[in-house]
């Protein structure tokens, strides 16, 4: 996953590109670079993050350029492997997001033809291929080059002395064009475009666009095509931190509103799901956990079986029944999820995508799209998008069960507002000194435990695992000690009694237990070492409240340990490689 940006207009391109890249860093941030079209192509590539203060860019003259922020796949993070990459003459510069699957054979062929490569990346074949075909002009050269590429790409090209334009090409990786007044942008998403214009064009796969300051021409197979512009729904304020120290905290605090909106997204049961006998969900990471919560919620009230599959494993299973397949993906760009949905299509299953990003790749694959409307999520850790997924999926369970969750869904946001004020510094103390953390829950609170552990390991770098509470005695018990606290999610309900016994068994091994339980529950508070109260409610409010407490526990622990909150090491916001 990488972020790309291009600018052409009347402003100094270098500063537009660097500011844009800062907003795209959530996509990858191990190195960055820009190329600006002045008298010659001016190139700057650097390993590491973009410095706060960066006076060097003032020496880059030119009002057109391209930039890149990288999440390494082929070749280590280094100056050499950073984009933009150049052709042999140094006159053509390219930034690329995606994977060129046939790069090894292309590289061999190009090297035999005399091309010299400077990096270990797959992307560098693109400028050399364009150079190879450059006799008939840049646009035609890009068209011919794309014909040779297999894999996924969104790339931008500038040519020294070129006719004042940027050429863009897209296949299976996102690319948005921003249409300003006398200036145009192209970027991996709309976030960096918002500072200049709200009018955007979402390119389709196999589009090639020629972008000048005055507009854009889009081509498919060499023929001109129309791509209508639309208005971005997110505001500039939505993508700024709004006074919070980190995007993650801001996004956690937005959740009451996000949940209230998400449960209203579906006004009726989608036609595709009318009379369904079974459902399959495919997703990764947090989105998979939201899918598991849905499975528990739906199966307990509607008797409709739900298969919830890790998207990366879906293709290894035998072909499913013709049940509808729902892909759950915040970004809409997760390669495993999107290819699982393609597999489902090949089985002729009706497909639905639940996503937060309009115009993302998954929206082009699915028969039907449900938009989460959580607003842009910048922090790598999914928080408000997870709550929005839970809200939309719980509403779906409600519609499929003839209204079993209706009343509770409409007030679940109040439970989140309640726990946002919770103080639990003693639990943060315990977690930040821990060697490992184990999260346990049963029923719908098992995926809540999985999600809590994922959040903790992702941003605090403390080893954390979630378990179905019943499983912990089947092996993980051997790891329990004083410095491996257990976090138990234990609201009242069918799982309460047995969770109560599990907690006592863990405590009997000298392991401290932090329990999330209802505020009025004296018994559970008495047996826990540390107790974090949740408001009174029901299964829906307990799911939402416990999820948010575990997000806050991870966030506060990571802050205590001085971690990089919004951009954890080695991770990226969307994972566009399988
Ligand atoms: C969650 O905090 C993670 N960043 C990650 O697990 C994420 O949920 C996963 O990569 C799936 O992303 P998606 O929802 O965009 O498909």
The stretch 542-551 carries a mean pLDDT of 98
How far is the centre of ligand 1, averaged over its atoms, from the C-alpha of 330 (Å)?
7
Q: Are 506 and 472 in contact (CB under 8 A)?
A: yes
Summarised one tens digit per residue, pLDDT across range 496-508 is 999 999 999 999 9
355 φψ region: left (φ > 0), alpha (ψ -120 to 50), beta (else): beta
* 2 labelled catalytic: yes
DSSP category for residue 320 = P
In the structure encoding, which two tokens stand for residue 243, read together? 């006074």
What is the position in ligand 1's atom list of the atom closest to the CA of 382? Answer: 2
Q: What distance in Å separates the CA atoms of residue 464 and residue 352, rounded to the nearest whole number? A: 32
The stretch 537-551 carries a mean pLDDT of 97
Residue 543 has pLDDT above 80, yes or no: yes
Ligand 1, CB cutoff 6 Å, lining residues: 284-287, 329-331, 334, 337, 380-382, 458, 574-575
Q: Are 551 and 379 in contact (CB under 8 A)?
A: no
Q: What distance in Å separates the CA atoms of residue 145 and residue 151, rounded to the nearest whole number? A: 13
Task: Output the pLDDT for position 173.
Answer: 84
The stretch 451-463 carries a mean pLDDT of 98
Please report how many Cα atoms fall inside a 13 Å half-sphere around the Cα of residue 508, on the Cβ side.
Answer: 8
Q: What distance in Å separates the CA atoms of residue 516 and residue 551, rounded to the nearest whole number? A: 13
Which residue is closest in CA terms to ligand 1's atom 9? 285
Q: Which of 334, 381, 460, 568 to mutate to test the pocket of ligand 1 (most atoms within 8 A of CB)?
A: 334
Q: State the Cα angle at 471 between 467 and 473, rounded to 5°.
A: 115
Q: Which of 287, 339, 567 to mutate to test the pocket of ligand 1 (most atoms within 8 A of CB)?
A: 287
Q: What distance in Å separates the CA atoms of residue 249 and residue 76, rounded to the nearest whole number? A: 31
Task: Output the pLDDT for position 405.
Answer: 95
In the structure encoding, which two tokens stand for residue 192, read together? 């960096």
Q: Which of 330, 392, 393 to mutate to test the pocket of ligand 1 (most atoms within 8 A of CB)?
A: 330
In the structure encoding, which two tokens stand for residue 66, read together? 């391209």
Summarised one tens digit per residue, pLDDT across range 276-326 is 999 999 999 999 999 999 999 999 999 899 999 999 999 888 666 789 999
Instruction: Kindly report which listed range (196-200, 321-325, 536-540) carries the lowest average pLDDT score.
Output: 321-325
Identify the band that residue 27 occupies on the pLDDT scale cut at 50, 70 and 90: confident
Residue 63 has pLDDT above 80, yes or no: yes
Burial class (CB in 10 A: 0-12, 13-18, 19+), 485: buried
How far is the centre of ligand 1, averaged over its atoms, from the C-alpha of 335 (Å)?
11
Task: Output the pLDDT for position 320.
Answer: 64
Which residue is closest in CA terms to ligand 1's atom 4? 381
How far is the centre of ligand 1, averaged over its atoms, from the C-alpha of 249 (Å)?
17
What is the position in ligand 1's atom list of the atom closest to the CA of 455? Answer: 2
Which residue is closest in CA terms to ligand 1's atom 7? 285
- Tokens 């399959």, located at residue: 280
Task: Output the pLDDT for position 387.
Answer: 98
How far is the centre of ligand 1, averaged over its atoms, from the C-alpha of 574 (Å)?
7
Task: Output the pLDDT for position 315.
Answer: 85
In the structure encoding, which two tokens stand for residue 64, read together? 């057109």
DSSP characters over 34-86: EEEESSSEEEEEEESSPPSS-GGGGG---SEEEEEEE--SSS-SSTTTSSPEE
* Paired residues of 310 in beta bridges: 283
Task: Output the pLDDT for position 249.
Answer: 96
Task: Output the pLDDT for position 382.
Answer: 98
Q: What distance in Å separates the CA atoms of residue 434 and residue 393, rounded to the nearest whole number? A: 34
Q: Which residue in 2, 284, 349, 574 is the catalytic one?
A: 2
Q: Are 298 and 273 in contact (CB under 8 A)?
A: no
What is the position in ligand 1's atom list of the atom closest to the CA of 458? Answer: 2
Residue 489 has pLDDT above 90, yes or no: yes
How far is the centre of ligand 1, averaged over its atoms, from the C-alpha of 491 (Å)?
27
How far is the centre of ligand 1, averaged over its atoms, from the C-alpha of 285 (Å)?
5
Identify the band that residue 512 occupies on the pLDDT scale cut at 50, 70 and 90: very high
Our measurement of the distance from residue 238's CA atom to the centroid of its chain's CA atoms, rounded to an integer in Å, reads 17
Summarised one tens digit per residue, pLDDT across range 387-416 is 999 999 999 999 999 999 998 998 899 999
Residue among 386, 372, 398, 402 nearest 297 (CA): 398
Task: Output the pLDDT for position 318.
Answer: 65
The three-class DSSP label of residue 334 is: coil
Question: What proportion of the chain, given as a percentage, has pLDDT over 70?
Answer: 99
How far is the centre of ligand 1, averaged over its atoms, from the C-alpha of 26 (Å)?
12
What is the position in ligand 1's atom list of the atom closest to the CA of 381? Answer: 2
CA torsion through residues 55, 60, 63, 64, sign: negative
Q: What distance in Å separates the CA atoms of residue 566 and residue 148, rounded to the nearest whole number? A: 37
Q: Which of 312, 326, 361, 382 to mutate to test the pocket of ligand 1 (most atoms within 8 A of CB)?
A: 382
Please report how many Cα atoms fall inside a 13 Å half-sphere around the Cα of residue 278, on the Cβ side.
Answer: 10
Which residue is closest in CA terms to ligand 1's atom 10? 285
The stretch 467-481 carries a mean pLDDT of 93
Summarised one tens digit per residue, pLDDT across range 86-135 is 999 999 999 999 889 899 999 999 999 999 999 999 999 999 999 999 98
Q: Which of 251, 284, 314 to mutate to test the pocket of ligand 1 (most atoms within 8 A of CB)?
A: 284
How far is the centre of ligand 1, averaged over its atoms, from the C-alpha of 321 (Å)?
27
Which residue is closest in CA terms to ligand 1's atom 16? 329
Pairing mode, if any, of strands 351-355 and 325-329?
Answer: parallel
pTM of the model: 0.79
H or E segment and range at residue 548: helix 539-560
* Paired residues of 66 in beta bridges: 6, 35
Identify the band that residue 172 occupies on the pLDDT scale cut at 50, 70 and 90: confident
Summarised one tens digit per residue, pLDDT across range 208-254 is 999 999 999 999 999 999 999 999 877 877 777 777 889 999 999 99
How far is the centre of ligand 1, averaged over its atoms, from the C-alpha of 545 (Å)?
20
Summarised one tens digit per residue, pLDDT across range 342-362 is 999 999 999 999 999 877 889
Which residue is closest in CA terms to ligand 1's atom 5? 285
DSSP characters over 217-252: EEEETTEEE----EE-SS-TGGGS-TT-SSHHHHHH
DSSP category for residue 319 = P
Phi, psi at 313, each rounded to 5°? -105, -10
Euclidean distance between the first and the last CA atom of the chain, given in angstroms as a whole number: 11
The stretch 537-561 carries a mean pLDDT of 97
In the structure encoding, which two tokens stand for residue 370, read together? 């449900």
What is the position in ligand 1's atom list of the atom closest to the CA of 337? Answer: 16
* Paired residues of 199 in beta bridges: 231
* Paired residues of 223 in beta bridges: 220
Task: Output the pLDDT for position 570.
Answer: 86
Task: Output the pLDDT for position 242.
Answer: 73
Burial class (CB in 10 A: 0-12, 13-18, 19+), 363: middle
How far is the centre of ligand 1, averaged over its atoms, from the C-alpha of 385 (Å)?
9
Q: Which residue in 295, 455, 573, 574 is the catalytic one?
A: 573
What is the position in ligand 1's atom list of the atom closest to the CA of 573? Answer: 4
In the structure encoding, which two tokens stand for residue 128, read together? 């050399």
Question: What proportion of the chain, given as a percentage, has pLDDT over 90?
Answer: 82
């Amino acid at each position: 996953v990488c972020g790309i940006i291009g600018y052409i207009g009347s402003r100094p391109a270098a500063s537009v590109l660097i500011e844009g890249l800062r907003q795209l860093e959530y996509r990858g941030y191990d190195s960055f670079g820009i190329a600006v079209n002045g008298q010659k192509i001016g190139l700057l590539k650097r390993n590491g993050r973009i410095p706060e203060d960066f006076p060097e860019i003032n020496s880059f003259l030119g009002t057109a350029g391209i930039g890149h922020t990288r999440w390494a796949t082929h070749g280590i993070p280094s100056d050499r492997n950073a984009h933009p990459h150049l052709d042999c003459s140094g006159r053509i510069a390219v930034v690329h997001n995606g994977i060129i699957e046939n790069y090894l054979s292309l590289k061999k062929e190009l090297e035999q033809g005399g091309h010299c490569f400077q990096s270990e990346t797959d992307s560098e074949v693109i400028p050399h291929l364009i150079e190879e075909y450059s006799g008939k002009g840049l646009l035609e050269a890009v068209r011919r080059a794309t014909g040779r590429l297999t894999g996924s790409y969104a790339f931008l090209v500038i040519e020294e002395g070129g006719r004042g334009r940027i050429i863009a090409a897209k296949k299976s990786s996102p690319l948005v064009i921003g249409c300003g007044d006398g200036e145009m942008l192209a970027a991996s998403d709309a976030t960096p475009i918002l500072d200049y214009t709200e009018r955007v064009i979402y390119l389709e796969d196999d589009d090639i666009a020629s972008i000048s300051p005055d507009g854009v021409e889009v081509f498919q197979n060499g023929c001109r095509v129309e791509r209508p512009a639309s208005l971005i729904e997110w505001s500039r304020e939505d993508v700024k931190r709004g006074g919070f120290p980190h995007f993650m905290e801001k996004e956690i605090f937005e959740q009451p509103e996000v949940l209230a909106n998400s449960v209203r997204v579906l006004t009726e049961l989608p036609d595709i799901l009318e009379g369904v006998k079974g459902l399959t969900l495919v997703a990764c990471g947090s989105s998979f956990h939201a899918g598991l919560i849905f499975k528990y919620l739906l199966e307990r009230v509607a008797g409709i079986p739900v298969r919830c599959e890790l998207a990366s494993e879906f293709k290894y299973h035998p072909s499913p029944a013709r049940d509808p397949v729902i892909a759950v993906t915040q970004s809409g760009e997760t390669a495993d999820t999107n290819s699982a949905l393609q597999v489902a299509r090949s089985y002729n299953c009706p497909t639905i995508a639940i996503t937060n990003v309009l115009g993302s790749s998954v929206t082009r694959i699915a028969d039907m799209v449900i938009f989460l409307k959580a607003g842009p999520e910048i922090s790598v850790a999914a928080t408000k998008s997870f709550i929005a997924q839970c809200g939309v999926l719980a509403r779906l369970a409600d519609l499929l069960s003839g209204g079993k969750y209706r009343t509770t869904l409409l007030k679940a946001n109040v439970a989140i507002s309640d726990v946002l004020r919770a103080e639990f510094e003693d639990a943060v103390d315990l977690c930040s000194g821990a060697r490992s953390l184990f999260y346990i829950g049963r029923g719908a609170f098992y995926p809540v435990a999985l999600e809590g552990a994922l959040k903790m390991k992702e941003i605090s770098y403390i080893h954390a695992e979630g378990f179905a509470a019943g499983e912990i005695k089947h092996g993980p018990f051997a790891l329990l000690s004083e410095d491996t606290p257990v976090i138990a999610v234990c609201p009242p309900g069918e799982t309460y009694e047995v969770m109560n016994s599990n907690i006592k068994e863990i405590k009997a091994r000298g392991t401290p237990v932090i329990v999330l339980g209802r505020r009025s529950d004296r018994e559970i508070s008495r047996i826990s070492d540390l107790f974090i109260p949740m408001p009174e409610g029901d299964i829906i409010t307990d799911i939402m409240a416990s999820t948010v407490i575990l997000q806050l526990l991870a966030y506060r622990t990571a802050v205590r340990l001085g971690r990089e909150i919004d951009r954890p090491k080695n991770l990226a916001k969307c994972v566009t490689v399988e």
